[in-house]
Amino acid sequence: MTTGHIFIAQSLDGFIARPDHGLDWLMKFQVEDDDNGYGDFISSMDCIVMGRGSFLNVLSFGEWPYELPVIVLSNTLSQNDIPENIADKVILSQLSPPELMGMLTDLGWNRAYIDGGQVIQSFLRDDLIDDMVLTQIPILIGKGIRLFGELDRDVDLLHMDTSSAPSGLVSSFYKVVKKPLVLTN
Ligand SMILES: NC(=O)c1ccc[n+]([C@@H]2O[C@H](COP(=O)([O-])OP(=O)(O)OC[C@H]3O[C@@H](n4cnc5c(N)ncnc54)[C@H](OP(=O)(O)O)[C@@H]3O)[C@@H](O)[C@H]2O)c1
């Protein structure tokens, strides 16, 4: 079964983007020659799954940054919304998270980078995340799009490692403790 993995940065007050999807507060912490482990992470993935919000924001940057196949979850976008130059790199899907993971398994894509706020929340709710690298950016932005949301149960995390960079970024690696299977007759 394909496993889900998160690599994401949030402001110290828990936001991944401004209300208008702005990422300027994050960009200003980018340091040349230090990718905060992103290169190693992405090279261990087989595909990227993101929601419409993240996809449209990436499109607004101009240059398509991904070499891996990207699956965009959306119930509102159509193939016409995918620019022609990336049409062979993007798969539009309306599948539920469990159905999508089943499709990725059939494709032989074992490790999926799960990205985007709402999409991460729904994969967490469905217990489809194995681990996460969470980078705290030393800034408070006060409002915006939250990384985590409501859950109908606790998600236990196992802290594996934390490192800090001179820029003030603090990155922690957590494994998600999978909920035990409950067998009923
Ligand atoms: N700080 C960081 O490191 C970082 C990383 C990634 C992204 N970001 C930013 O964070 C923001 C994320 O925004 P977001 O939370 O709105 O974006 P998102 O999770 O990327 O997209 C949410 C949209 O995906 C669609 N969707 C389809 N199936 C879904 C499902 N099962 N679960 C959830 N959504 C599903 C829905 O659109 P439809 O209405 O079309 O169905 C929904 O509105 C963006 O601005 C992005 O650029 C920041």
Domain boundaries, the chain: 3-176
| pLDDT attached to residue 179 | 75
Closest atom, ligand 1, to C-alpha of 96: 31
Report whether residue 77 contacts ligand 1, using a CB cutoff of 6 Å: yes
For ligand 1, atom 48, the nearest C-alpha belongs to: 16
Report whether residue 116 contacts ligand 1, using a CB cutoff of 6 Å: yes
Report whether residue 51 contacts ligand 1, using a CB cutoff of 6 Å: yes
pLDDT digits (tens, 9 = 90+) for 133-152: 999 999 999 999 999 999 99
| DSSP codes, 77-140 | --GGGS-GGGTTTEEEE---HHHHHHHHHHHT--EEEEESHHHHHHHHHTT-EEEEEEEEES--
User: What pTM value is reported for the model?
Assistant: 0.96
**Looking at domain 3-176, which of 3.40.430.10, 3.30.420.40, 3.30.428.10, 3.40.50.1400 is its CATH number?**
3.40.430.10
Report, as an integer, the average pLDDT of 47-56. Answer: 98
